[in-house]
Structure 1
């Protein structure tokens, strides 16, 4: 009887999936705070460095780039390395920015291994709309820690994605290890 009532309300067939509600992700889905390609005044990656480290989820500040936790992480500890300058493309970087982005990427991997025993990484920059960039206006490199089975068991069999720690706690742990 309950299944019939669900179908009649247009909710679809029962699928036996558990739901972990993450309403904070609606801002990401709607595209809130995504800047245009024209200016830096509305850019979250330009705004973050104006905040204190805790509020901005900043793990480390360098000379020409900084490291920040992804607000919508793929896995726990998902970091991004952003130049301070508002540039959209890797080819727009200076030699100094290239060197620092590389050094920060290397350090991020070392810190993530020490803190969370990451077994592997996905590193990358999505460039342009066709390249899948969520925020095309401001270059950022993803450093995504990975573990064997992290994306196989829970999402596919368990139908659940888990993040074991609040972002603020993750930021503090990584920032302390960075020092």
Structure 2
């Protein structure tokens, strides 16, 4: 019996989830003039842009959005598939800013650890928070998101796949079952 892919978030549910996370960021940020959203490549970047657009709709303030490549900060390069590094692009100095790191899925925590190391090369923010669309558990490091779209307990063999319009021509989140033996 083949396991079916399970839709976790439809396009509409993803949009609502992003809107909720944006509202939570606004609520906890305080001074929005100090807020900078930094997306982690690949899907964290368009997610950060989506959050910034929603914050602007709600609060009429344009929040700077940066893009962070963490490839060479990873401690598990031997265990992951490498891609061509992207260009880190941060629109402002991060010193004394409230930085919200944005990623699509948090799993073991290693991507976020690498992002924290990378961020310190671009200034010393006063606060760094973490926003993720999906938290699938199985942490290997003591890292927890401040803003979470969906908690999704998974088996280690399962995959969570986020689709975003800018990259994948559709929005949504699927749970891909473990492969058949």
TM-score for the superposition, normalised by structure 1: 0.25
- Structure with greater helix percent: 1
Which structure has the bigger radius of gyration? 1
Tell me the TM-score normalised to structure 2 length.
0.25
Structure ranking higher in strand proportion: 2
